[in-house]
């Protein structure tokens, strides 16, 4: 076949009219593909005489380089055109999406996580290993220095189930942990507790507590004050006035209750109960109270959750009010 410069010029113009990658590829194949005109033309060289060959070959190489050159240039151009097209492609970005169901951590979970963080930072290990919701009176009362006929038993109305009871406080884990741990010890326990309280805005028969316990050779009320005051500052994010009130828990002595001043509500709010672990509790767990002393305190998780999220009714925490629960953020 004979390729003339005119054919090539015509071809080059066609290439220069290709404005998409697809068109350009068609042009490339037309000239340079297996069946392409240039490729085919080269195949005819073999049939030529020795004298003709150099000139024809030179001519073909010339054509080939022209085509390749223009193809390459056009490729750059097409790329630019297509890029600009992509850039110019516009969509309306303003519409809100149809929201997928959003998941959330429950407020109680969030508070536990926050508290756990504080105590872990200070070397208090969270212990779930003796965290029994169904307990016996021995651990819930006797070992905690609350004998059978002590009026303090009726401080916490207990649910009974046969030989067992539903624990009335997380402190019930104290004797088990103490008995099964080497001293000194710094621990926190989070868990569910149960009391015969008819549900109302401030009570549910099931609720959560955190217990903090430390036993050491040298441990006094001053250590308790240090951690509690740090803790309260951590809880509220600022140093608020604190009031200590003498109180009574059979398993601590001295015992105190601690109120925090709520500047917005202009009122004292009872936050936690605390004290030095009663010598009988240490003795009951098989340790020597003349060597070891300790402190313990407990805090209600729901109360903190209500405070953080400004809830009016504790029962809201136990209902699947997805809208309310979805609005409670502490950690995000």
Question: From the list 31, 130, 141, 190, which residue makes contact with another protein (rule: CB under 8 A)?
Answer: 190
> Does the footprint of another protein cover residue 100 (CB under 8 A)?
yes
CB nearer another protein, residue 75 or residue 122: 122
Q: In the structure encoding, which two tokens stand for residue 204, read together?
A: 């549910």
> Does the footprint of another protein cover residue 169 (CB under 8 A)?
no
183 burial level (CB within 10 Å; 0-12, 13-18, 19+): middle
CA angle centred on 92, ends 86 and 94, rounded to 5° = 135
- The pairing of strands 185-194 and 125-126 is parallel
> Does the footprint of another protein cover residue 118 (CB under 8 A)?
no
CB nearer another protein, residue 78 or residue 276: 276
> Does the footprint of another protein cover residue 266 (CB under 8 A)?
no
Residue range at the interface with another protein (CB under 8 A); choices 19-27, 58-66, 88-96, 314-322? 314-322
CB nearer another protein, residue 31 or residue 297: 297
Minimum separation from the CB atom of position 311 to another protein (A): 13
Structure-token match 């504080």, residue found:
118
DSSP character for 100?
A: P
CB nearer another protein, residue 34 or residue 218: 218
CB nearer another protein, residue 25 or residue 230: 230
Residue range at the interface with another protein (CB under 8 A); choices 37-45, 75-83, 127-135, 306-314? 127-135
CA distances (Å), 50 to each of 38, 43, 53, 137, in order? 20, 15, 5, 114
Task: State whether residue 257 is helix, strand or coil.
Answer: strand
CA angle centred on 225, ends 221 and 226, rounded to 5° = 120
Least Cα distance to 139 among 168, 117, 97, 114 occurs for: 168
Q: In the structure encoding, which two tokens stand for residue 59, read together?
A: 């001519």
Please work out the total of residues on this chain that contact another protein, with binding judged by CB under 8 A.
Answer: 81
CB nearer another protein, residue 14 or residue 219: 219
Q: In the structure encoding, which two tokens stand for residue 187, read together?
A: 């621990």
Partners of 245 in beta bridges: 257
Minimum separation from the CB atom of position 230 to another protein (A): 8
CA angle centred on 279, ends 276 and 285, rounded to 5° = 110
Question: From the list 52, 200, 321, 327, which residue makes contact with another protein (rule: CB under 8 A)?
Answer: 321
> Does the footprint of another protein cover residue 159 (CB under 8 A)?
yes
> Does the footprint of another protein cover residue 222 (CB under 8 A)?
yes
CB nearer another protein, residue 77 or residue 324: 324
> Does the footprint of another protein cover residue 31 (CB under 8 A)?
no
**What backbone torsions phi and psi does residue 288 show, to the nearest 5 degrees?**
-95, 110
């Amino acid at each position: 076949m004979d390729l003339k410069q005119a054919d090539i010029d015509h071809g080059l113009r066609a290439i220069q009219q290709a404005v998409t990658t697809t068109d350009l590829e068609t042009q490339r194949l037309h000239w340079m593909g297996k069946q392409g005109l240039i490729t085919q033309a080269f195949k005819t060289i073999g049939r030529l005489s020795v004298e003709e060959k150099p000139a024809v070959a030179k001519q073909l190489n010339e054509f080939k380089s022209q085509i390749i050159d223009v193809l390459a240039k056009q490729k750059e151009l097409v790329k630019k055109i297509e890029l600009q097209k992509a850039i110019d492609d516009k969509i309306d970005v303003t519409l809100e999406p149809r929201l997928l169901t959003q998941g959330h951590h429950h407020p109680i979970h969030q508070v536990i996580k926050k508290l756990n963080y504080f105590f872990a930072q200070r070397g208090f290990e969270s212990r779930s290993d003796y965290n029994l919701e169904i307990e016996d009176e021995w651990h819930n009362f006797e070992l905690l220095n609350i004998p059978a006929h002590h009026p303090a038993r009726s401080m916490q109305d207990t649910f009974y189930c046969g030989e067992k009871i539903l624990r009335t406080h997380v402190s019930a884990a104290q004797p088990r942990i103490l008995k099964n741990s080497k001293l000194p010890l710094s621990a926190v326990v989070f868990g569910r507790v149960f009391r015969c309280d008819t549900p109302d805005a401030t009570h549910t028969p099931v609720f959560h507590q955190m217990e903090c316990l430390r036993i050491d050779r040298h441990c006094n009320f001053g250590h308790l004050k240090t951690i509690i005051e740090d803790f309260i500052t951590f809880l509220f994010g600022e140093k608020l006035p604190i009031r200590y009130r003498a109180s009574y828990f059979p398993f601590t002595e001295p015992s105190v209750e601690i109120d925090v001043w709520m500047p917005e509500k202009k009122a004292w709010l009872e936050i936690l109960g605390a004290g030095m672990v009663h010598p009988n509790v240490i003795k009951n767990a098989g340790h020597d109270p003349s060597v070891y002393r300790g402190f313990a305190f407990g805090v209600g998780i729901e109360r903190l959750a209500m405070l953080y999220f400004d809830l009016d009714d504790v029962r809201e925490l136990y209902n699947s009010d997805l809208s309310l629960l979805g609005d409670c953020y502490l950690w995000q």
